[in-house]
Structure formats: structure tokens, C-alpha cells
A and B are shown apart, each in its own frame.
Chain A
């Protein structure tokens, strides 16, 4: 595809004054960037009018910023410039229009405008030759980043963001000549501010998570505040060394002014970079990837999307039962909740469902992560099924033989909860095991509520061995096999028989007329080693 930006349309360097109003309409982003640049070294060159108009300026910008998201500057209508574009720039333009680089979320018009803006600003600052255009991020990338940042900082909904450029532009009065002087200073400032813009964008693209103007503003605000309040000697020395005294003072005064007004006129939202991410990703499914840095809003799904995701996953799980897929999806779901600090009933639902699925599949590692979260979430007073999961929790710690955690789990319970059926059951299981009451334990095993049986199945084998050891030592000379079947909660004699055979106790079984006897007296220490082996091999972490 050919670059659709004929050189004729490229904006010329604006002669101050005449072009002023076009700058009045710079997109909100650029405007904020201006403000930010105003902190920088560019100050020395400003005349005082620029300086004093600044507060007003920033105010209008903030308003624009909130009310009308980025209208793009209208194509400049000035006379065609006679500029020779360097090859690198041409390549950059070409690259921007490659079909493979097109971003469906950014429409062409917006992209073209951005491209113009980038190049014209480079031209204005005479950085055309110094910029590494081959490494320069594409305009569509920059737009996306800015959108994300804008959303993140202002809490705009996705819908607003996509409609951004349909919003009507400010009407005529803004351009009225009455504002001429203001506009002059504006354009002047703008001109200066453009100096650092392109490189900033490059920077942005590289570390694109925090909007540069935000983080920078933030720092500057802090700096100015600090300067006003603190007496740090270090700072002074630094300042003294940096420049002549008068200049330093001037700078300081200017910064103080800007900073002060800046913070007063900024939107009342909390410290920008400190807040949680607000996602903008609309995809329902997302692969799990462990984060090593702050996430990009464009890769995080907002809660409304996550709710749809959960519905989808529930359906898929029912239909396909592909655990590897489901687990992966749930992990990314949980991650999105965490980075956005979403802690509500929905969060609880997500963890509960993942916990149940993991339990069903015997994935104790995931299950344990979920239950740890659930414990904390219930403590926050969120709704869910605390009795069900507190009961699982007790059973889980019985399985992992973690006495400390078991003690904590009991300590978490209120006396009301202790009377809830599921929890009562789990507590009874625990005490029957603690007292070696296998008779009671296996009765409880047969009547486990909810999904507790998945957990109990994990340790019922070792408890059977323990009970068998007990029986072999205490009963002489023999018992009927049926007795074992009943006492140890087997489904049938055959199952009991198989269990004994599995631990090489076949010699102890003897066929009588119409029943089988189990010669406990001859067992000796046959099951002891299997028993201690079974109790030793509890994987505390429960990872599979």
C-alpha cells in the first residue's frame, strides 16, 4: 500500500500567532504532555506571559481532557511546505501503513492524524534527523498505549474510549481573536514542549505502562512539594552545584508555581501510578502467563468481561471437561482479578468454582491456593459458601497432616459454624482420627457431605492401613472378613479382600464353609511398614 500522506498535506512549522487555534485543539494527551514539559528545562526560554498563563492553560486542558477525549487536530491547511523528507521517515510512514501493522481497534483516520502529529513535531523540534525512525513505535501502537493509559487514569469505560473521536469538537468561540495573546503564548509553549515529545514517545513505547506525563507529573509534583516543605541539605547542595544561584531560584519559583497549580487543577483522582490497573481487554479467553512486571491494561480484562468469561468457562467445563485448559483459564482469570484489586462476591465465586474443579481433579496444589484465598476473602466478610469450604479446609489439613494449619483452621471457626452440618462432620472426622476411632471414622466417611469425599478418598487408604494394624494387634485369633468390610467402610467383601491382597496379606485369608476368615493373630507386623510408609508420604504442598 502506498503512503496515503502526500507531502503536500504535511503540516508546516506554524508561524506563531497565525496558527494558534489549531493548537487549541490538540488532543488532550498532547495537551497534558505540554504541561509536563513545562516543568522541564524549556522554562528559561519562556517569557513571563507564558509562565503566568500556565495555570489557566492547564485548567482548560484538564477540562478538555475529561470532557472530550482526544479530538485530533484538523489537517493543517497552510501552504504546502517544501520539505525533503529523509528516507528513514518515509520508511516509517510506509511501515505504519503496512496491512500487517494495521490495528483494527485504531481507525485509519485517527492513525493518520497521529502520524502527522509525530512527524510534524519532530520537524518542529528539528529532531527529524536524530530520531531513530526504524525503532520508532507505530502511531497505532502509540494510540493504543495512550488509550489504555487514559482509561487507567480516568476510569473511563471502554465504551467511551472507543467513541472518542465521534465527540463533537469545541465550537467556534474558542478560537475567537480575543484569545489571541493567550494563544500565542500557548503556541509558543507548545512549540517548545515539542522538543522532547518524540523521544518521549519512544520512551513511552519502551516502558509503556505508566503514562509518561503522569508519572512525570507525579514526580514533579512531589518534587515541588518537597521543595516547599523540606529542608534537606542534600537537595540544596545539588541545586547549588547545578546552576548559578539566580537561575536556580527562578527555576524553583517557576516549578513551585506550576506544581502548585498543577495539583490543584488536576482531576481529583488518586495518585495515578499507585492505583490498580483497570483492564481494557475485551477477549473472553486468555492464556495464563506469570507476571514479572506491571501488567498492561490492554492485556487485562475488566470485571464485566471476566463475568462473561466465567460463564463461558463453566459451560466449557461441563461440555469438554478439559482440565488443563480450564485450570489455565482460571489462573489467568484470578490474575486479572488480583491486578485490578477486585475483591468482591464475584471474586469469591471464581475461587470457589476453581477450588471445586481442582478438587474434583485431585489437583491439590491449585485447590490449596484457592482455599487460602477463600479463607482470606471470607474474613473480609464476602459472601459465598464458607461452611462448605471451611469443612474442606479441615479435611485438607487432615490429609496433609499439617497440625499447625489444622489448629488455625479450627481457630477460625465461630461456635455457630461449628454446628453447621459440613463443618461438624469435618470436625468429627478429625477427632475420630485423633482418637484412633476408626469405627466412627469410616461411618463418617460413608456420609460425607458436598465434595468432601474427594478429599477423604485421598487419605482413607492410609487410615484403613492404620486400622488394620490396630485390628491385627488387638484381635486374636481371627475375625470374619465381613467384619473388616464393615469396620473399614468397604463397599463389598471383594473390595476388602482386594485391599488385603494388595498389601500381600493373601496368606491371612482363609475360606471357611460359607465365609472367609482373616487371621489377625498371624499378621504380626505385616501391615506396619505399609502403614508408616503411607503416613510418611504426605506431600505437604500437594502439588501434582
Chain B
């Protein structure tokens, strides 16, 4: 106990209290031995008075720096922490009956007491790291508890719904965790204290935790509500730039992915680009995550492909996007389909499959453009500059498409593909069905490609 309380005293010094320091004392993972000693130094009856006493007076009998209220708040937190810790120690020792679910419930109490510290016991801004750290651990413990329960096949809980809720049962604790985090979110959002002492400074930390939780629960759309709530309070909120860069990057990333999932590729591109450039240069993993969505965005918004230089530091992305890019560049439909198929599982899992699939249009455009270029030049009228042949038989396109896709494609289907190109403004011109030719625009048949 002494080790932990001493740390607490160190953190709670008068002039410059250090929440980070206190947060480390409330960690479930740092040092198993210290946790055990802490648990063994008290029992269920003695912990409350012991803790209260030790928080108010240090070993030499010196009074604590904080007010009585605040000391009570900390006392409650450490008491709850002791209970959670003793459950963890039981698990570590492999004796008795405890489970991560029990730990989770106990830890929920810790988080509850921390949030009470802010509402009832005058905790100030410096203590926010404690809130953040305990909230973070809550999510970790929820995941552990769900894992454990799903692996041990426990009895079903009775439900009175009309149908089973099998998904929900799988994520019981995590769903509960989402509710708890949501409460913390409101706790931070609604704080009316002036900015220097506001709980608002934890808002993005909590939001990011919630994003992660919602994505894990496959309920990403719920994140929308958070962003809406945040927007409503925009006026009272400190500028995004004043927050920790790490929090901002994560926030922008998730916002980008959300927009991406809703097919708002332009907005998604903005957020992701922001995140990409703010991301620490050594965070290869994070950059990779951002690019996973940013590259498909670019493909759709500006028809541009990632350069080799960009992909160089990310072998994973190289293998995912490399073959696809080459196929698009060459207009090789077959190679494109194969590349897409090759990594299908990976793409589907990252939810970019349906977006990348649309890259086939670009591949097709490039192919048709090649056919057009191969058509060569015709003599200009009245001996003028030679111009490109703009009347192209459908059969030429048909031959090209059949060739590169490796199967015979009939004329009607090719016309259909051409019609699509025209409709999407990837190609300018029209189809004269009866005569079986395509008439392309003399001024820029393939917009954006200098032809």
C-alpha cells in the first residue's frame, strides 16, 4: 500500500500536481508484484479506514495537500481500486473463483468513483489523466471479459425478446463499456467551468475510445451522434489545434473513415489527409492505416494512383495496392479482377473492397483510351492539321475488351460499358447503335487525360 500511496503523494504535491503520476498508481498492468503487495496490505474491512487515513496524513503525520473533500474522493477511488485489484490478483494466482467479468464490474466502480471525483469532490483539470487512464483500462477489461466468456461457453442469460440477440451477447461487456464511456463523454462535454480548469480537455481522448469501441461493436454509425454532439458545443470548445497531436490524429482518422464508409469521399479525403500529415513520422502503423483509406479516396476523387515512392515504406500496402495500380494504369481488366480477387478477404475486412472495385472504371477508361490512340490520325479537313480519328467502330472496342478480359464479350455488353463511360463523363461522345460506331468528341474525348 505504501508504495502506491507514496506515488500518490508525489503526484499530489501542492504546487504542481501531476495527474499522470497518479494515473500510473491506478494501473492494473504496470507491476503485478506491486499490485499484489497493495492487495495484501489490507483486507475488505480495513481497506476503507486505512486508505482514508493514509491519504490524509503521510507516514510522518503531515497533512495532505488537498482539501477534505478531495481526499474523500481519492479515498473512494483507491478503495474501489483495491477491490478490483484483489480480483485481478485472484486471477493471476489462478486460485478461487474470479473472472475478468468480475474484474470489469469492479473496475466500472473505479471509473464511477473517478467521475464522481470530478462531479462531487472538486477534482480539477490536472486530474484528467486519471480519468483517461481508467477509462482506457475499462475498455481493455471489457474486451478481456468478452473474450473469456465467449471462450468458456457459459450458460445463456434468459432473454424475453422475440428473437435471440446473439451478436449482443458476444459483446455484452463491451456494449456496457460503450455506455459507460458515453457517460464520461457527456461528463466532459457538459462541463461549464472556464477552459483552464475544464474537463473538456479530455473530450477527444474519450471520443477516440468510443470510436474504437463502436467500430469493434460493428456500430460505427453511432459515432455520428458523438460528432453531432461535439458540433453542437463547438462554440465552447477549445480549438482542435490546442489538443494533443496524437488525439487529433486519431480523431481525424476516425472521422475520415466514417465519411469514407458513408461514401463522402471528398470529405473523407480532407480528414485523412490532415491526419496523414500530422501523424508522427515514425508511426508507420498509423500511417499505413490512414493510407489504407486515403488511397481508395484518391482513386475515386481524382483518379490518381499512389506512387511507388509513397508506398515504399509500407510493404503491406505495396502488396495490396501495387498490382491493382499497375492493372489500372495498363487498362488490364483481367489483371485488375485478379488483383482484386487476390486480396479480396483483406479488402473486405478493411471495408475498402466495394470502393476499390469502382477502380475498374478507370482501368476500362485507360483501355478505351488506348484503343482510341491506336486508331491513329486522320488527315485534317482541307489539308489542315491531321486530327485523331474520332469515329471508332464498336467492334474495335469489343476486340480490346475481349482481349484484356480474357473472355468473349458481346457487342451489346461493350456498348453498355461505353454508355457507362459516357454517362460518368469519363469519355465524351455518343454511340450510334444502328451504325455500330462510337463518335468521340474532337475536343478531349477522355477528360483529364490530355487526349
B141 on interface, CB distance cutoff 8 Å? no
From B337, which residue of chain A is reached at the shortest CB distance? A431
B353 on interface, CB distance cutoff 8 Å? yes
A325 on interface, CB distance cutoff 8 Å? no
B220 on interface, CB distance cutoff 8 Å? yes
Q: Is the CB of B419 within 8 A of A403?
A: no
The complex places the Cα of A440 from the Cα of B45 at a distance, in Å, of: 75
Within 8 Å by CB of B422, from A275, A293, A473, lies: A473
From A236, which residue of chain B is reached at the shortest CB distance? B45
**Min C-beta distance of B132 to chain A, whole Å:** 30
Q: Is the CB of B416 within 8 A of A434?
A: no
The complex places the Cα of A380 from the Cα of B153 at a distance, in Å, of: 12
From B352, which residue of chain A is reached at the shortest CB distance? A407
The complex places the Cα of A277 from the Cα of B345 at a distance, in Å, of: 41
Given contacts A339-B158, A408-B218, contact A231 B45 (CB under 8 A): yes
Enumerate A273-302 residues with CB–CB distance to B below 8 Å: 274-277, 290-295
| CB-defined contacts of B159 to chain A, threshold 8 Å | 338-339
B370 on interface, CB distance cutoff 8 Å? no
Q: Is the CB of B160 within 8 A of A294?
A: yes
Given contacts A341-B156, A376-B167, A403-B261, contact A474 B422 (CB under 8 A): yes
| CB-defined contacts of B119 to chain A, threshold 8 Å | none
Q: Is the CB of A270 within 8 A of B155?
A: yes
| CB-defined contacts of B430 to chain A, threshold 8 Å | 474-476, 521
Enumerate B135-170 residues with CB–CB distance to A below 8 Å: 155-164, 166-167
| CB-defined contacts of A411 to chain B, threshold 8 Å | 345, 348-349
The complex places the Cα of A276 from the Cα of B158 at a distance, in Å, of: 6
Q: Is the CB of A341 within 8 A of B261?
A: no
A304 on interface, CB distance cutoff 8 Å? no
B-contact 0/1 string along A89-105, CB 8 Å cutoff: 00000000000000000
**Min C-beta distance of A376 to chain B, whole Å:** 4
**Min C-beta distance of A131 to chain B, whole Å:** 32
| CB-defined contacts of A373 to chain B, threshold 8 Å | 163-164
The complex places the Cα of A108 from the Cα of B204 at a distance, in Å, of: 71
The complex places the Cα of A407 from the Cα of B156 at a distance, in Å, of: 29
A81 on interface, CB distance cutoff 8 Å? no
Q: Is the CB of A476 within 8 A of B432?
A: yes
Q: Is the CB of A474 within 8 A of B431?
A: yes
Q: Is the CB of A437 within 8 A of B423?
A: no
A404 on interface, CB distance cutoff 8 Å? yes
Q: Is the CB of A233 within 8 A of B44?
A: yes
The complex places the Cα of A66 from the Cα of B349 at a distance, in Å, of: 53
Within 8 Å by CB of A474, from B158, B163, B218, B423, lies: B423
Q: Is the CB of A407 within 8 A of B354?
A: yes
A-contact 0/1 string along B418-451, CB 8 Å cutoff: 1110111000001111100001000000000000
Q: Is the CB of A474 within 8 A of B220?
A: no
Number of interface residues of A (CB under 8 A): 59
| CB-defined contacts of B420 to chain A, threshold 8 Å | 435-437, 470, 474
Given contacts A434-B354, A470-B423, contact A275 B162 (CB under 8 A): no
The segment from B52-60, B62-70, B356-364 found at the interface with A is B356-364
| CB-defined contacts of A470 to chain B, threshold 8 Å | 416, 419-420, 422-423
Number of interface residues of B (CB under 8 A): 48
| CB-defined contacts of B345 to chain A, threshold 8 Å | 411
| CB-defined contacts of B416 to chain A, threshold 8 Å | 436-440, 470, 487
A406 on interface, CB distance cutoff 8 Å? yes
Q: Is the CB of A439 within 8 A of B261?
A: no
B-contact 0/1 string along A318-351, CB 8 Å cutoff: 0000000000000100110011010100000000
B417 on interface, CB distance cutoff 8 Å? yes
From B49, which residue of chain A is reached at the shortest CB distance? A233
Enumerate A333-373 residues with CB–CB distance to B below 8 Å: 334-335, 338-339, 341, 343, 369, 372-373
Q: Is the CB of B160 within 8 A of A293?
A: yes
The complex places the Cα of A60 from the Cα of B143 at a distance, in Å, of: 47
Q: Is the CB of B433 within 8 A of A483?
A: yes
A179 on interface, CB distance cutoff 8 Å? no
The complex places the Cα of A487 from the Cα of B358 at a distance, in Å, of: 22
| CB-defined contacts of B415 to chain A, threshold 8 Å | 439
Q: Is the CB of A334 within 8 A of B158?
A: no
The complex places the Cα of A477 from the Cα of B439 at a distance, in Å, of: 12
Given contacts A233-B48, A440-B413, A470-B423, contact A369 B432 (CB under 8 A): no
| CB-defined contacts of A474 to chain B, threshold 8 Å | 418-420, 422-423, 430-431
B351 on interface, CB distance cutoff 8 Å? yes
From A343, which residue of chain B is reached at the shortest CB distance? B164
A-contact 0/1 string along B323-350, CB 8 Å cutoff: 0000000000000000000000100110
**Min C-beta distance of B170 to chain A, whole Å:** 9
The complex places the Cα of A233 from the Cα of B43 at a distance, in Å, of: 11
B176 on interface, CB distance cutoff 8 Å? no
| CB-defined contacts of B432 to chain A, threshold 8 Å | 475-477
B41 on interface, CB distance cutoff 8 Å? no
User: For A232, A293, A369, A437, which residue has the most chain B Cβ atoms within 10 angstroms?
Assistant: A437
Q: Is the CB of B261 within 8 A of A404?
A: yes
User: For B161, B162, B353, which residue has the most chain A Cβ atoms within 10 angstroms?
Assistant: B162
Enumerate A445-477 residues with CB–CB distance to B below 8 Å: 469-471, 473-477
**Min C-beta distance of A521 to chain B, whole Å:** 8
Enumerate A218-271 residues with CB–CB distance to B below 8 Å: 230-233, 236, 270
Within 8 Å by CB of B357, from A274, A431, A439, lies: A431
Across the A-B interface, give the 10 residue pairs with the lowest CB-CB distance, nearest first: A474-B419, A376-B166, A439-B416, A476-B430, A231-B44, A474-B422, A436-B420, A439-B413, A291-B160, A470-B423
Q: Which residues of B contact A (CB under 8 A)?
A: 43-45, 48, 155-164, 166-167, 218, 220-221, 261, 263, 345, 348-349, 351, 353-354, 357-358, 360-361, 412-413, 415-420, 422-424, 430-434, 439
Given contacts A291-B160, A435-B357, 20 further A-B contacts (CB under 8 A): A231-B44, A233-B48, A275-B155, A294-B158, A295-B160, A338-B162, A338-B163, A339-B158, A339-B160, A343-B164, A372-B163, A376-B164, A410-B353, A411-B348, A431-B357, A437-B416, A439-B412, A470-B416, A470-B419, A473-B423
A-B contact pairs, 7 of them (CB 8 A): A294-B160, A373-B164, A435-B420, A440-B416, A473-B419, A474-B418, A474-B422
